[in-house]
A = this chain, B = another copy of it.
């Protein structure tokens, strides 16, 4: 700054007020130029494939920061920024920092979500107790729509602080169904019947291959499992289809799904 003042003096601007005006103008021009450069770089980055929603977010962040720096520089040029105000700012910064802590954390999380994109718009995700289809990521919060059509708004830092399970990202998904059959029935037969159903189904992926196994010996039944891989898009259709199909096939071939069982030793009194 001092060199700039010296430079102005060399140009013959010796009047203090004229100097101030020129300095303020210079600050405003420099800020305008920097903003234009940022705008250009962001447009360029988007052409190169960056996420569309990054631009307004980063631009508003940078412009607010520049406005604040500019205001402080102008106050400084006008000689306002005396020790008293600096002390007050210093003393206030802790309180402000603590008050805005979560807000700033949300902004940081929002930027990370946009750059690392663990999800994109219309992905269905679960993150802690939060579930829903992504509508959009904002500077502070993310908007979702729950499966039963409700509007959900969650702070960004919540989405960033817990593991996100994205159900829509990967192309295929495993479908696991357990059926509890009678101890008197043959698990072997049950598994063969399920295998026949699956073998003729083009919607069941060949790799990873379907598998059938006994998963547990439960209190009243033997748990027989069907494990197939399907396309993510028709997971729910396949689930409903096999739930019904296996039950009907078991009914046909006489494999029963038993009610809870208990052995009672009667003592008359």
Contacts and interface: CB of A to CB of B under 8 A. Distances in A.
Interface of A: 1-4, 16, 69, 72-73, 76, 78-82, 84-105, 107-109, 112, 116, 118, 129-130, 138, 140-141, 143, 145-155, 157-158, 160-167, 169-170, 172-174, 176, 179-180, 183, 187, 213-217, 219-220, 222, 229, 232, 240, 243-244, 247, 257-269
Contact of A269 (B138, B143, B213, B266): B266
Given A92-B93, A214-B247, A217-B257, A163 B174 contact: no
Nearest to A247: B217
Given A91-B93, A260-B263, A261-B262, A165 B150 contact: yes
B257 A265 contact: no
A145 to B, nearest CB: 7
A165 B138 contact: no
A146 B169 CA distance: 12
Copies in the complex: 7
A101 B95 contact: yes
A259 B263 contact: yes
A4 B17 CA distance: 11
Contact of A104 (B95, B145, B150, B167): B95
Given A93-B94, A213-B243, 4 more contacts: A76-B82, A102-B157, A187-B247, A265-B268
Contact of A266 (B150, B215, B264): B264
B257 A259 contact: no
A240 B259 contact: no
B163 A150 contact: no
A167 B243 CA distance: 32
B152 A165 contact: yes
Nearest to A229: B149
A111 to B, nearest CB: 9
